[in-house]
Amino acid sequence: MVAARHLFNRGVRVAVVLAAERARISAVPLHQLEILERMGVPVLDEPPASDLVIDALLGYSLRGSPRGRYANLINWANSQTAPVLALDSPSGLDVTTGAAGDPCIRARATMTLAIPKVGLGLAPDLVGDLYLADISVPPLVYRRLGVQVPDLFSQATIVRIELEEKAHE
């Protein structure tokens, strides 16, 4: 929803389609939805034909394969001719193991946040081009977690990460 707001503010025609019923949306995303509605961004029941599909359905805490409306929206996105940009990870992908659920988004590109997730590098055919975006996590947070993170964003706030292609047999 934040991506939709930024695009709308730049004059891009956008629409948002929710996977969950409004009553089941938690406080932070609900606040973002209310901002979009006040801005006049359309919130639709079904996705329209688009020039770009932004996948922000499921996050890194996915357990098992997507079901119900989530699965339907993933299948819809994968059937489109428009490119799909996955935010943080392709919906349906386990970012720890790289295992794909059924269904799983097949992204043209993925914009992951803060630090690269191991599973993204294990599924290059689902991730597409991989970019890493700085969301201003303080280095102290990583140090307290015992995670060594190089200065990834010294040159830019978005960097491309090269993935090795899987060998096809």
3-state secondary structure string across 38-55: HHCCCEECCCCCCCCEEE
104 has pLDDT over 50? yes
Query: Is the model's pLDDT at 68 over the cut of 70?
Result: yes
Q: Is the pLDDT of residue 75 over 80?
A: yes
Q: What is the pLDDT of residues 21-57, one digit of tens each?
A: 989 989 999 999 999 999 999 999 999 999 999 999 9
The sign of the CA dihedral 90, 91, 97, 99 is negative
Q: Which residues pair with 87 in a beta bridge?
A: 111
Kindly report whether the peptide bond that precedes residue 66 is cis, defined as omega within 30 degrees of 0.
no
In which residue ranges of the chain is CATH 3.40.50.10260 found?
50-169
- The model's pTM: 0.89
Give the model's pLDDT for residue 164: 72
* Across 99-106, average pLDDT: 96
Question: Mind listing the pLDDT tens digit for each residue in 114-169?
Answer: 888 899 999 999 999 999 999 999 989 989 999 888 888 888 999 999 877 654 44
Q: How far is CA 121 from CA 42, 44, 82, 88, 128, in A?
A: 35, 33, 23, 13, 10
Tell whether the model's pLDDT for residue 5 goes beyond 60. yes
Task: Decide the pairing of beta strands 84-87 and 109-113.
Answer: parallel
Question: According to the per-residue pLDDT averaged within each range, which of 60-64, 69-73, 162-166 is highest?
Answer: 69-73
The class of domain 50-169 in CATH terms is alpha beta
Residues 122, 166: Cα–Cα separation, whole Å: 8
CA distances from 24 to 20, 33, 35, 71, 128 (A): 6, 13, 17, 17, 31
pLDDT given at position 63: 75
Tell me the CA distances in angstroms from 101 to 91, 93, 133, one per residue in order.
9, 6, 25
How many helices (H) and strands (E) the chain has is answered by 6, 7
Q: Residue 149 has what pLDDT?
A: 85
- Radius of gyration, CA atoms only, the chain: 17
Name the token pair of 45.
Answer: 């029941």
Instruction: State CA 8 to chain mean position distance.
Output: 18
